[in-house]
Amino acid sequence: MRIPCRATIGAVIVAVSAVASFDDECDRSGGNLLQSFAQARRAEKYAWQSGRGNFPNFAVAEANGPFNLSETLSWSWHHPKGRFHTLTWGTVLDHQLNVYLSAADGLRKFDVDGQLLWEHHTLPAILMNAPAIYQGSIFASDTLGGVRALSMSTGKLLWHSNLSMPIGEDNGFTMVHEGVVFTAAGWRDPSPMGPANHMVKALNASDGQILWTYEPDAPVWNFLPLFPDRDTFVFQDMTGRVYRLSLQGKLLWKAGGKPGTWTDGGAALGNGMVYAVNNNNPPKQLMFHSEHSPGTLSAYDLNGTLKWKITTPRPPNNAPAIGKVQGWSGLSVILPICKQVMQGATCEVQAYDANTGGLRWVFHGPKQTGPLQAGDFEGMVDRTTSGVRPACLPNGWSAPSISSDGTVFVGNENGPMFALRDADGDGRVVGNDEVSSFDAKAAFSGSASPAIGNNLLAVASCDTLFVFKG
């Protein structure tokens, strides 16, 4: 692509990634500008670009987070009227480790030491999803069917696109890739779980124009698109069926799933495969089953061929993470399993061999002690008076994240944030050398994937942002 010397700075910025050559005059006068801009973009590689981290190794950090959580809390934030006056969801980190937080009432930016830099309010539109940052902007969707882009530096609204249809109150992920914003929309009946998002929407990241709409065979829940390369993306619907589409919205393949079922879980990428989850029983049956209702974890290659599947002993109600973990060679699938909102039910985290599905280790988490998840009953009145939904009612676990040293970070519905590692490889995660925790006194939403920077961990419970520094 050739850029004329009269190109504006804005045009240069938009085109810089596609530049292959310049005319001689631009080589002399504009080349330095392009080179400086490209170098600046490389220097600004974000530490945790979306609610599930960075392309292509989603949910796996290039840095370590602090293991001893109880000793490394640096700062926290909750609504100034009190912790229950909003619901907090996903976190992302830029190249300076500034923290961006999505909450029911809007978006906020904090510096690495906890100073509030800006806030953008959205009520009566409620944010439910984790945001994403991309080329100087932050993107989020809301329950009134709006998708917006803000300046990362100032919080100023850059554009707002009204999809003319609501976006559901589940906890998904707004994602951006190669200039395209992805969101779920079309909240309506029917589905195995009542109202749900029936459509996937793609928007132009520069101006918010709708590019295309795709309707999968079953609605999506906690929508999580992931990108195996620069040209395609994958996601699963609520039944566990996996789809691979081009960035132009063309279906390449779909596979798996169990019709009539519902899961709070999502897909994961890694090891050259797509991993999907589903529950084995319909939602109405799940309501009357014990905490041991089984599910399925399935692994597909990038052509949609099933490579293996295993039965999980509890419902797989969140997205896995695929990465290298301590004490084990190769890659592992980290899967939280739990029947949430069930008093007395135990939640576990299981690790499987990413190539075979063989069980590697198990962490037995706490039981849900109250009739609702931690912090939900206590905050109903304050949330209602503040105009947000009265309860979080999240997944049993947050989405897990893996640091570069193989530590797994994941939050539990009963309040603890855990750092986990099977350092001795004995298949059990126990003891002070392998388990660290911090009591957040509230559950964690499914979109609350811990964001990992350089010796820093940022994660939101359902009411408070916590930042740990090593």
State the pLDDT confidence band at 283, using cuts at 50, 70 and 90: confident
Which comes out higher in pLDDT, residue 411 or 290?
Answer: 411
Q: How far apart are CA 267 and CA 282, in angstroms?
A: 19
What b/e string do you get for 151-167 counting C-beta neighbours within 10 Å, with b at 16 or more? ebeebeebbebebebbb
Report the run of H or E that residue 12 belongs to, with start and end: helix 9-15
**Residues 132-157: what's their mean pLDDT?**
98
Annotated domain spans of the chain: 1-43, 44-469
What pLDDT is stored for residue 344 in this prediction? 85
**Average pLDDT of the segment spanning 264-279:** 97
Q: What is the pLDDT of residue 418?
A: 98
Q: Residue range 264-292: average pLDDT? A: 86
Q: What is the mean pLDDT of residues 160-166?
A: 95
Quick check: 261 pLDDT over 80?
Answer: yes
Task: Work out the percent of the chain whose per-residue pLDDT is above 70.
Answer: 89
Instruction: Please compute the mean of the pLDDT values over residues 443-457 and round it to a whole number.
Output: 96
Residue 19: the pLDDT is 33
Residue 40 has a CB neighbour count (10 Å cut-off) of 10
pLDDT of residue 286: 56
pTM of the full structure: 0.90
**Which of 13-17, 186-190, 433-437 comes out lowest in average pLDDT?**
13-17
What is the average pLDDT score of the chain? Answer: 90
| pLDDT of 224 above 50 | yes
- DSSP E strands in 143-229: the ranges are 146-151, 157-162, 175-177, 180-188, 196-204, 210-214
pLDDT at residue 42, rounded to an integer:
45
Checking DSSP bridges between strand 137-141 and strand 146-151, what pairing results, if any? antiparallel
Task: Indicate if the pLDDT at residue 391 is higher than 60.
Answer: yes
Nearest to 182 by CA among 198, 197, 201, 155: 201
Whether residue 18 is predicted with pLDDT greater than 50 in this model: the reply is: no
**The domain 44-469 belongs to what CATH superfamily?**
YVTN repeat-like/Quinoprotein amine dehydrogenase (2.130.10.10)
pLDDT number for residue 152: 98
User: Mean pLDDT throughout 397-423?
Assistant: 97
pLDDT at 342: 86
Average of pLDDT values for 108-124? 98
pLDDT, residue 26, reads 36
Taking alpha carbons only, the member of 155, 180, 137 closest to residue 49 is: 137
